[in-house]
Each structure stands twice: as structure tokens, then as C-alpha cells.
């Protein structure tokens, strides 16, 4: 997992930075990198993903021995240092090849490829011994050949799938028309322009609005869900869940566009094209996924008897729910609040209420945790605030002065509202930042995720225990939650975790988070730095 996270982070960073188009007119190897570079990366990712799934299954009998060997071996810091040193050289070569364009393109391309491969090998051997790699390759046998074939198939199908954008857009237009015809008397439809609506409000169904992305996401989710719970499903019956989920996403996407048109026609184009347009798709995906997860397993025709219809009685107490539900309640409320908003999220209080209700419901579980606080948590919170403000210019490095000014200014909708509404919103915003968000996120990331990575029986793991892999992965996940401020978020996650580990008290992590957010709130309200909110 640590190796996957390392490679994913480096690949994402390089993909954002490097523009492959600069090699378009190059000849030789550099031209081949332009033509096939992206597909080579996609193939490598697909092969690695398939190999992980099927390799784990074929090597299941040796996993215990492999785990023990890896634990005894630990991390080879010499090889890890070599990896990062080589990566520094790889970044330098990338700068010369893609940014500054200095030196011979083909010679740089050879050095770039060899350096990248060496960095991959060093990282792989730093975290997993060479002997284990040999055993894994030997035990998986023809699984690697299957992974390569599956990866090639995925790339071919991916290229072919681009040709379906047009037909899907036409089918979506037809379905939206079918939904709106009984409701809207004067329906405006232009098949050539993929446009539909009313004389006062109409939209164009672009390829990305055809539902393709949601269908692909649901196909990936349903396939993974069937695989991970393969012992519970009745095959081939359960295979119907994948096309059923994809079909549901297609219909719901058409329903999203139809509802968007109705909202815009009703006099709220800001909400229709703002929050609803961006959030309704995620709401639909989560709805279908939840139905599949919670409902399909209760149907005897799809799942085995012991898994269907008897989950509440046989599963016992769901320890995970108490740790994740407050955080998930915030995410769900945020999607609903944004979907119901135009240029300003007026119903932000829904997040506070949803998280507060989940925290209250599971309050009995939290009594078992140590909620005492000390100076460590407060100091960590102040330090994170200083780091957060210090790194803020990095989050806005690519923004123009006009964009920065727009972000830092107070929202016009809030400033133009009645004083009572403005004060009430700010009070709820502070309550969320200082109370419900620190509680929900620390319980989820430090109380659950960090311990869950360490052991499946996470409640048996002491809050004082420290291991590098859970520490880094949970902090990285916390950083990714904060978007452009991922680096500051990752550092914050580390410091909150250390505050908790020092005395084994979740209270120190929560108070550290609360202090940081309280100082940020003061910074926003006193200094007008609204981009932080």
C-alpha cells in the first residue's frame, strides 16, 4: 500500500507538471514518447492493478510468510534515499526535456526513460525485498501474462469508448425529451446542437454531460464491489449488478438534466447551473452505490443465504460506523447543500446539524476514548496554523491578481444579506470549523483510519502506537481532502497524529484541529482572507 501511494503521488505530480504536447513535433524517441507516452502509463497502471488483484488471490497461501519477511526486512533507507536522489535527477531531466527544451531531445529521452525505470526499481526494492518479488512472480505464474492481456484490452476498449460520446449524447437528449414532454408544454429541442429546454432556459448536452463518466465510475465501482465480496455473491446472477448500475446511472443522469432545466425554468438559473449541475451527479452515484451495497446483498437470488437478509443479526456491532458516520454525514450534507446553492452556500448549517446528529447518536462509543487535552494539542494547533498560512501562496501560485482578489473578497451574497442572516451564517460556519469538523475528521482519520491500516481489529490498536505506514497514509489521505492545500493538509495530519500519539489521547488531536480552525476563522474575519473558507 505504501508503494502504491508513493507511485500514485509521484505520477499525479508529474502528470500535472509535465505537458506532453511540447514533444508533438519531435522525431525519434521523443516523438514516440509524445505519441505513446500517455497510453504506456495507462497500460502500466492497468497491468499493475490487475496483477495486484489476481496476484493476491494466487499468492494467498504465501501471504503470511511474505508479510513476516517484509516485517523483518523493514524499509531499506539506503535504497529509499537512492530512489529520491534518482527522482531528483529525473525531475531535472524532465525540466530540460519538457520545460526548458535544452539538449538533444533523443539523448534526453533515453536518459529520462532509464532514470525513471531506475527510480521505480529502487522504490520497489526499498519497501519489498528482492526475494519477495521473485517469490511473487514465481507464485503468480501466468497471472502476469493475464494482467498484461487485460491491460491491453482495457486500453483498446478505452480508445474505442471515445467513439460512443456522440451516440450517448443523442440517447441522453432523447430520454430528457421523453421526461420533460409531459411536464413542459413549450419544449424546445434542437437535435443538431444537442440543445433542449424552454424558450426562457435551455442547455446544451455536451459529451461530458451524456452520463459517460458516471457510467464508467459505476462500472468500476460495481466490478470492484463484486470482486471484494466474491464469496458472498451467487454467480453468474450477481454479474447483472454491473449493467444494472450502469443503466441506472444513465437514466439518473438524464433525470439530472431534466431537473436542471425545470429548476432553471422556474427562475433559479444560478442554482441550476451552479451547485445542482456539479453535485447532482455525485448524489446520483452515491445513491446507486448505496442501494447496491446495502440492498443487493439482502436479495437471496443475488447473494448467498448467510449474506442475504441476515446482515443485522449476524454482523453484530458495526464498530466502523461510529468512527466514519459523522465524517460521511458532513460529506453528504455538503453535497446536498451545494446542489441547492447558486453562487453561495446558504444552507451550510446543514453540515453542522448532520455531523452533530451523527456524533450524538454514537456518543456511547466515543466514551471509551481518552478525551483529555494538554498543551501538546494547543501547541500543535498553533504550529499548523502558522504552516497553513505560510504555505497559502503555493495554493494560489497559478492564480492571477484578479483571481486572487476575487477569492480573498467576502462573498457578495453574504455581505448584501440582512444582518441577522449574515451573523447566523457566520456563527454556524465557526461552529462547524471549531466543533463538528475537528471531532468528525479526527475520529475518522486518527481514531479510525490510522489504526485500521495497522490492524483489521483497529479498536485493539492503542492510540499511542506509531508505525510509519499508517502514519504516512492517513496523513496523505487527510492532505488530499484539502484539494489545492494538500501539502499543508498532509503536514497538519502528521502533527495532529503526533499530538494524539504522544499521550494516546484523541482529545489532543481534536483540540489541535480546533485551535487551527479557530485561528483560521479569526484570520478570515479580521483580515478578509475569505479564500480560506
pLDDT digit string, tens, across residues 198-228: 888 888 887 777 777 888 889 888 888 888 8
Give the pLDDT score at 316.
53
Q: How confident is the model at residue 308 (pLDDT cuts 50, 70, 90)?
A: very low
Partnered with residue 196 across adjacent β-strands are 189, 203
Q: How confident is the model at residue 438 (pLDDT cuts 50, 70, 90)?
A: very high
Q: How confident is the model at residue 315 (pLDDT cuts 50, 70, 90)?
A: very low
Question: Which residue in 251, 245, 248 sits closest to 171, CA to CA?
Answer: 251
Statement: residue 38 has pLDDT above 70: yes
Highest mean pLDDT among 61-75, 132-146, 194-208, 422-436 belongs to 422-436
**Other CB atoms within 10 Å distance of the CB of residue 382:** 14
Q: How confident is the model at residue 314 (pLDDT cuts 50, 70, 90)?
A: very low
Statement: residue 360 has pLDDT above 70: yes
Give the pLDDT score at 313.
42
Statement: residue 375 has pLDDT above 70: yes
Give the pLDDT score at 307.
47
Q: How confident is the model at residue 399 (pLDDT cuts 50, 70, 90)?
A: low
Give the pLDDT score at 165.
74
Give the pLDDT score at 62.
62
Average pLDDT over residues 34-49: 82
pLDDT, tens digit, 9 for 90 and up, residues 256-274: 999 989 988 888 888 887 7
Statement: residue 517 has pLDDT above 90: yes
Give the pLDDT score at 61.
59
**Rounded distance between C-alpha atoms, residue 408 and residue 358, angstroms:** 33
Give the Å distances, CA to CA, from 517 to 82, 220, 326. Answer: 38, 36, 18
Q: How confident is the model at residue 22 (pLDDT cuts 50, 70, 90)?
A: confident
Q: How confident is the model at residue 103 (pLDDT cuts 50, 70, 90)?
A: low
| 26: Cβ contacts below 8 Å, ≥ 6 apart | 33, 34, 105
Average pLDDT over residues 60-72: 66
Give the pLDDT score at 499.
95
Give the pLDDT score at 193.
84
Give the pLDDT score at 273.
79
Give the pLDDT score at 502.
92
**Other CB atoms within 10 Å distance of the CB of residue 145:** 10
Give the pLDDT score at 239.
87
Give the Å distances, CA to CA, from 318 to 84, 266, 360. Answer: 41, 44, 16
Statement: residue 141 has pLDDT above 90: no
Partnered with residue 233 across adjacent β-strands are 303
CA angle, corner 525, sides to 520 and 527, nearest 5? 85
Average pLDDT over residues 297-307: 76
- First-to-last C-alpha distance (Å) of the chain: 33
Q: How confident is the model at residue 57 (pLDDT cuts 50, 70, 90)?
A: low
**Rounded distance between C-alpha atoms, residue 201 and residue 196, angstroms:** 9
| 243: Cβ contacts below 8 Å, ≥ 6 apart | none
Least confident of 58-67, 114-123, 168-177, 432-441: 58-67
| 233: Cβ contacts below 8 Å, ≥ 6 apart | 226, 302, 303, 304
Statement: residue 252 has pLDDT above 70: yes
**Rounded distance between C-alpha atoms, residue 496 and residue 388, angstroms:** 13
253 vs 136: which has the higher pLDDT: 253
State what percent of residues in the chain have pLDDT above 90.
32
pTM above 0.85, yes or no: no
Highest mean pLDDT among 32-46, 196-210, 466-480 belongs to 466-480
Give the pLDDT score at 70.
67
Question: Which residue in 281, 275, 324 sits closest to 477, CA to CA?
Answer: 324
Average pLDDT over residues 283-296: 86
Least confident of 19-28, 107-116, 280-289, 481-490: 19-28
Give the pLDDT score at 60.
59
Half-sphere exposure of 361 (CA within 13 A, CB side): 14
Q: How confident is the model at residue 184 (pLDDT cuts 50, 70, 90)?
A: confident
Statement: residue 312 has pLDDT above 50: no
- Arithmetic mean of pLDDT over the chain: 85
Give the Å distances, CA to CA, from 155 to 21, 43, 69, 212, 366. Answer: 20, 6, 35, 17, 47
Average pLDDT over residues 156-174: 80
Give the Å distances, CA to CA, from 363 to 299, 321, 322, 326. Answer: 32, 12, 8, 11
Using H for helix, E for strand and C for coil, what is the string for 406-475? HHHCCCHHHHCCCHHHHHHHHHHHHHHHHHHHHHHHHHHHHHHHHHHHHCCCHHHCCCCCCCHHHHHHHH
- Evaluate whether 303 touches 296 at the Cβ level (below 8 Å): yes
Amino acid at each position: 500500500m505504501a508503494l502504491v501511494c508513493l507511485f500514485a503521488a509521484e505520477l499525479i505530480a508529474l502528470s500535472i507538471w509535465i505537458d506532453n504536447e511540447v514533444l508533438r513535433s519531435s522525431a525519434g524517441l521523443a516523438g514516440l514518447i509524445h505519441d505513446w507516452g500517455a497510453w504506456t502509463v495507462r497500460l502500466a497502471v492497468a497491468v499493475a492493478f490487475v496483477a495486484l488483484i489476481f496476484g493476491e488471490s494466487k499468492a494467498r497461501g504465501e501471504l503470511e510468510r511474505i508479510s513476516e519477511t517484509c516485517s523483518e526486512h523493514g524499509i531499506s533507507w539506503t535504497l529509499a534515499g537512492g530512489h529520491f536522489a534518482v527522482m531528483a535527477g529525473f525531475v531535472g531531466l524532465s525540466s530540460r526535456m519538457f520545460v526548458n527544451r535544452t539538449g538533444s531531445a533523443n539523448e534526453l529521452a533515453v536518459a529520462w526513460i532509464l532514470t525513471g525505470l531506475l527510480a521505480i526499481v529502487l522504490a520497489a526494492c526499498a519497501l519489498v525485498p528482492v526475494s519477495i518479488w521473485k517469490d511473487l512472480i514465481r507464485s503468480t505464474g501466468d497471472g502476469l501474462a493475464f494482467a498484461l492481456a487485460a491491460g491491453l484490452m482495457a486500453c483498446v476498449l478505452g480508445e474505442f469508448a471515445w467513439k460512443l460520446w456522440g451516440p450517448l449524447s443523442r440517447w441522453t437528449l432523447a430520454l430528457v425529451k421523453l421526461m420533460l414532454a409531459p411536464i413542459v408544454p413549450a419544449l424546445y429541442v434542437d437535435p443538431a446542437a444537442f440543445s433542449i429546454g424552454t424558450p426562457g432556459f435551455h442547455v446544451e448536452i455536451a459529451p461530458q454531460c451524456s452520463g459517460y463518466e458516471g457510467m464508467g465510475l459505476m462500472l468500476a465501482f460495481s466490478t470492484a464491489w463484486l470482486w471484494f465480496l466474491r464469496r458472498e455473491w451467487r454467480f453468474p446472477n450477481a454479474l447483472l449488478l454491473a449493467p444494472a448500475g450502469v443503466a441506472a446511472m444513465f437514466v439518473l443522469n438524464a433525470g439530472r438534466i431534466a431537473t436542471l432545466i425545470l429548476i432553471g425554468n422556474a427562475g433559479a438559473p444560478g442554482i441550476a447551473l451552479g451547485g445542482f449541475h456539479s453535485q447532482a451527479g455525485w448524489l446520483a452515484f452515491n445513491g446507486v452505490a448505496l442501494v447496491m451495497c446495502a440492498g443487493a446483498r439482502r436479495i437471496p437470488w443475488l447473494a448467498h443465504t448467510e449474506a442475504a437478509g441476515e446482515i443485522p443479526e449476524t454482523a453484530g456491532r458495526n464498530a466502523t460506523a461510529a468512527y466514519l458516520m459523522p465524517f460521511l454525514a458532513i460529506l453528504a450534507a455538503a453535497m446536498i447543500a451545494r446542489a441547492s446553492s447558486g453562487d453561495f452556500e446558504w444552507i451550510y448549517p446543514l453540515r453542522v446539524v448532520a455531523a452533530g446528529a451523527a456524533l450524538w447518536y454514537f456518543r456511547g462509543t466515543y466514551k471509551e476514548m481518552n478525551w483529555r487535552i494538554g498543551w501538546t494539542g494547543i501547541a500543535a494547533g498553533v504550529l499548523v496554523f502558522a504552516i497553513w498560512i505560510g504555505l497559502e501562496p503555493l495554493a494560489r501560485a497559478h492564480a492571477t491578481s484578479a483571481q486572487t482578489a476575487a477569492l480573498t473578497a467576502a462573498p457578495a451574497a453574504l455581505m448584501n444579506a440582512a444582518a441577522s442572516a449574515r451573523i447566523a451564517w457566520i456563527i454556524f460556519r465557526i461552529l462547524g470549523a471549531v466543533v463538528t469538523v475537528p471531532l468528525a475528521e479526527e475520529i475518522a482519520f486518527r481514531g479510525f483510519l490510522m489504526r485500521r491500516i495497522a490492524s483489521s481489529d483497529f479498536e485493539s490498536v492503542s492510540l499511542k502506537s506509531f508505525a510509519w505506514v499508517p502514519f504516512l497514509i492517513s496523513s496523505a489521505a487527510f492532505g488530499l481532502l484539502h484539494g489545492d492545500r494538500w501539502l499543508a493538509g498532509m503536514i497538519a495530519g502528521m502533527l495532529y497524529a503526533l499530538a494524539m500519539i504522544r499521550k494516546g489521547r484523541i482529545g489532543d488531536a481534536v483540540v489541535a484541529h480546533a485551535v487551527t480552525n479557530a485561528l483560521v476563522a479569526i484570520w478570515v474575519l479580521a483580515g478578509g482572507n475569505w479564500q480560506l473558507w
